[in-house]
Amino acid sequence: MDQTSIERKYDEAKDKLAEIGVNADQALKQLPTYQLSIHCWQGDDVRGFEPSSSELTGSGLQVTGNYPGRARNVQELRQDLEEAIALIPGRHRVNLHSIYGEFNGRVERNEYEPGHFRGWLEWAKAHNLELDFNATCFAHPKAAGGMTLSHPRKEIRKFWIEHVKACRKIAAFFGRELKSYSIHNLWIPDGLKDRPANRWSYRQWLFDSLEEIFETEYSQTQLKDSLESKLFGLGTEAYVVGSHEFYLAYALQKGKMVCLDLGHFHPTESIADKISAIMTGGGELLLHLSRGVRWDSDHVVLLNDEIEAVCEEIVAVPDQEKIHLALDYFDASMNRVGAWVLGARAVEQGLLQALLLPGKKLEEAELQGDNLSKLYWRQYVRDLPLAAVWDYYCLMMDVPLESEWLGKIKEYEKNVLSRRN
Ligand code: RNT
Ligand code: ZN
């Protein structure tokens, strides 16, 4: 499609939207203000660059598939990220896990330092990206039993406390150097397969570990701490120490953020509904956008009902600075670079769709008790040419149209990924 026809189609869509009180130009101004943190771990199946990386087994995480082309080193991962980012409209962040440092030999996790991430920092600067960070309390012999910060043995807890402290320091280093806060998110696999003898002791240990970890204070302009809960994992079906209630209570008391992962709740529970519930009091929130299929399976995000509902809530947050968006999935059964692009663009499309909802009409109908109209307008917009608005946005942001990006990914696969084996 040439530029003039994209513009013409946009103008038509814009007029139709204006008829129902929606300002498309305004929506397109707001859309690029949402940043997405793109997760590095989709590029290599959560392996990282430690010389002897251990399996994910025992952490409740599982990557399935063996599609060719996985990034095998830091250069390949950055090259893949650059390719993906070039196909995603907007200005984004990159989310690193600590195991993606450049270690040059064996370095214990409790000895990770900002220096191991200088390469990432320089790369981020060169590409005008900001960085977020995650401690890696899994895929390690000391996490083999599935317990880390709540391990009954003090020396094991101490090791992981030191690791997380080191990771917060690295995140703060990114924040300082890039002059934009870095979010440090903490997720641990700790839990039990079957009925615990005592639910209290592990939670008390985790609480004490967190207290020690957060003893070091950083300015919020450099570092924002976030805590990610989970309902259950593989091997932790009966009990997860860091449950939603546990972290929510902790975070509210200590001024930390919680991270809501779309795969970490009961399948019928709506994450969309939790956003305003947690944030009314002024709290800050991180979202891990993922797609669970039957369980926390970390499938690539598509614009499904849940993402749609979540996006509506995101655009409704009064103080947009207080909500942070990150992708979190890992699928090794397909072109991994394309998986980034598909998921990220789906979220952007969800946000756009939410911005194009006739909010005034919905509110009016609701206030008048006109429930039929409230549903009617939701359905009505589905017939509007929203894709024309999206295409125009892609044109504006200088990224391929929806009909074009898959071809670019196939080309990249042919020229780069398929030569990696
Ligand atoms: C695990 C959590 C966590 C991880 C990443 C790799 O269930 O969702 O966020 O996916 O840290
Ligand atoms: Zn997550």
Which of 187, 188, 236 has the most ligand 1 atoms within 8 A of CB, as the residue to mutate?
187
Report how far ligand 2's centroid is from the alpha carbon of 289 (Å).
Answer: 8
Residue 228: its pLDDT value, please?
Answer: 98
Q: What are the C-alpha distances in Å from 398 to residues 32, 259, 374, 402? A: 12, 32, 36, 12
Closest ligand 1 atom to the C-alpha of 261? 8
Both tokens of residue 411? 């080309």
Q: Which atom of ligand 1 is nearest to the CA of 134?
A: 11
Cα–ligand 1 centroid distance for 11 (angstroms)? 42
288 counts as catalytic = yes
299 catalytic? Reply is no
Q: From the CB of residue 421, how many other CB atoms can be counted at a distance below 10 Å? A: 8
CA-nearest residue, atom 10 of ligand 1 = 328
Contact 134, 185 (CB under 8 A): yes
Q: Which residues does the chain have with pLDDT short of 70?
A: none
Q: What is the pLDDT of residue 60?
A: 80
Q: Which long-range contacts (CB under 8 A, 24 or more apart) does 268-274 make?
A: 270/306, 270/309, 271/306, 271/310, 272/306, 272/309, 272/310, 272/312, 272/313, 273/313
Atom of ligand 1 at shortest distance to CA of 46?
6
- Residue 196, judged by CB atoms within 10 A of its CB (0-12, 13-18, 19+), counts as middle
Tokens of 39: 């997760």
The per-residue pLDDT for 57 is 74
Nearest-CA neighbor of 323 among 347, 343, 297, 302?
347
Ligand 2 mean position, distance from CA 410 (Å): 28
Contact between 230 and 243 under an 8 Å Cβ cutoff? The reply is yes
Assess whether 264 carries a catalytic annotation. yes
Q: Which ligand is nearest to the CA of 45?
A: 1
Residues 114, 77 contacting (CB under 8 angstroms): no
SS3 content of the chain, % helix, strand, coil (to 5): 50, 10, 40
Q: Which residues surround ligand 2, an ion (CB under 5 A)?
A: 261, 288, 328
364-383 confidence digits (pLDDT tens):
999 999 999 999 999 999 99
* CA–centroid distance, residue 328 to ligand 1 (Å): 7
The tokens describing 106, both together, are 């064996």
- Distance, CA of 181 to CA of 68 (rounded, Å): 35
Catalytic residue among 225, 261, 348, 391: 261
- 261 alpha carbon, closest ligand: 2
CB atoms within 10 A of CB 66: 9
Catalytic site includes residue 230: yes
Collapsing DSSP to helix, strand or coil, 405 comes out as helix
Q: Which is nearest to 85 in space by CA: 134, 39, 34?
A: 39
298-310 confidence digits (pLDDT tens): 999 999 999 999 9
Considering only CA atoms, which residue is closest to atom 5 of ligand 1?
A: 328
The 3-class secondary structure across 310-346, one letter per residue, is: HHHHHHHCCCHHHEEEEECCCCCCCCHHHHHHHHHHH
DSSP 3-state of 49: coil
Q: Which of 116, 256, 274, 288 is catalytic?
A: 288
CA gap 421, 418 in Å, rounded: 7
> Environment class of residue 403 by beta-carbon count within 10 Å: exposed (0-12), middle (13-18) or buried (19+)?
exposed
Would you state the pLDDT for residue 56?
82
Q: Under DSSP, is residue 377 helix (H, G, I), strand (E, B) or coil? A: helix
Q: What SS3 state is found at 181? A: coil
Q: Which pLDDT value is given to residue 58? A: 77
- In this prediction, residue 52 carries a pLDDT of 81
Catalytic hit among 80, 130, 228, 313: 228
Distances (CA, A) of 92 to 32, 101, 171, 375: 9, 20, 17, 34
Catalytic residue among 120, 187, 205, 340: 187
pTM: 0.97
296 is catalytic: yes
Strand, coil or helix: 408: helix
For position 55, what pLDDT does the model report?
77
Task: Name the residue among 76, 69, 71 with its Cα closest to residue 418.
Answer: 69
Residue type, 93: R
DSSP-based three-state secondary structure for 295: strand
The residue whose CA has the least distance to atom 7 of ligand 1 is 61
**Residue 340 · residue 43 · CB < 8 Å:** yes
